[in-house]
Amino acid sequence: MAIFKGAGVAIATPFKENGEVNYDEFARLIEFQIENGTDAIIVCGTTGEAATMSEKEHMDVVKFCIEKVNKRIPVIAGTGSNCTETAVELSKLAEEYGADGVLLVTPYYNKATQNGLIKHFSAVADAISIPIILYNVPSRTGCNILPETVVKLCKEYKNIVGIKDATGNIAQTSHMMQIADGCIDLYSGNDDEIVPIMSVGGQGVISVLSNVAPRQTHDICQKCLDGDFKSARELQFKALPLVKALFSEVNPIPVKSALKMIGFEAGPLRLPLTEMEPEHEAVLREEMKKFGLMK
């Protein structure tokens, strides 16, 4: 049984002008997501700027989100690290706080071998009992989990249940699902590939787009789950210009600008991320209007 099916939002973390987490606005953003049909919340991932949080701050945000959602939809905590011991400790805390699952990115910078990846993810799986979704994003980590490695982990550990695939390599993804024999819950990690990923057996998406368009992203996934790929494809095509604008600079720079455009006090980004370039912001604003998210 998948942790969730449909659109899970990789939720942004609002900050105050002094750099502290804006918990009041975070609560408002969580409610906006639930009210508009988001199927799960993924907290403290890339979009949530977890890389610039202290471990205490990171887990305070996770705990707040879990308590605010209060089991209305699943909450999946980003607890990955390039240090295996840190990933284990964060994952244990997430389980203690009541997370429905954890999302574990491949160890970045270290560039582990496939054997190293197996040992890394196995250490976390041995330490917790809640479900684990692996996160494969080689463009950010410099490290690719090969299909055979994913299948081995999912078959050997009952709590390693799936993968967020942001490889952009549909051939690799298709091969992985071909050899998986149904043991992998697959989620698209790219908003422009929801329909292709779901067409090869995906359960949904872990989405940046959902921050500003939760209902529309949910609907793309639901059409796929209903077998109506023609309608899903049409919705996906309609969203592509906005998705392109949301990734015109490194995530989450554009999406925090987009949240401000629709009335959320998303606040500043933490260095080394900087505010969106004016020419890119103008394009984003235009695409937000075209998509019907603002006047």
Q: Which residues are catalytic?
A: 135, 164
Provide the token pair at 80: 């990955």
157: left (phi over 0), alpha (psi -120 to 50) or beta: beta
3-state secondary structure 66-117: HHHHCCCCCEEEECCCCCHHHHHHHHHHHHHHCCCEEEEECCCCCCCCHHHH
Euclidean distance between CA atoms 266 and 36, whole angstroms = 18
285 exposure class (CB count in 10 Å sphere: 0-12, 13-18, 19+): middle
Distances (CA, A) of 189 to 8, 45, 154, 258, 293: 10, 12, 18, 19, 22
Tell me the three state secondary structure of residue 41: strand
Euclidean distance between CA atoms 219 and 238, whole angstroms = 12
The torsion angles phi and psi of 252, rounded to 5 degrees, stand at -105, 25
89 exposure class (CB count in 10 Å sphere: 0-12, 13-18, 19+): middle
β strands within 96-172, DSSP E:
101-105, 132-136, 160-165
- Buried-state track 92-123, b at ≥16 Cβ within 10 A, e below 16: bbbbebbbbbbbbbbbbeeebeeeebbebbbe
Tell me the three state secondary structure of residue 227: coil
Strands 75-78 and 40-43: parallel
Provide the token pair at 294: 């603002």
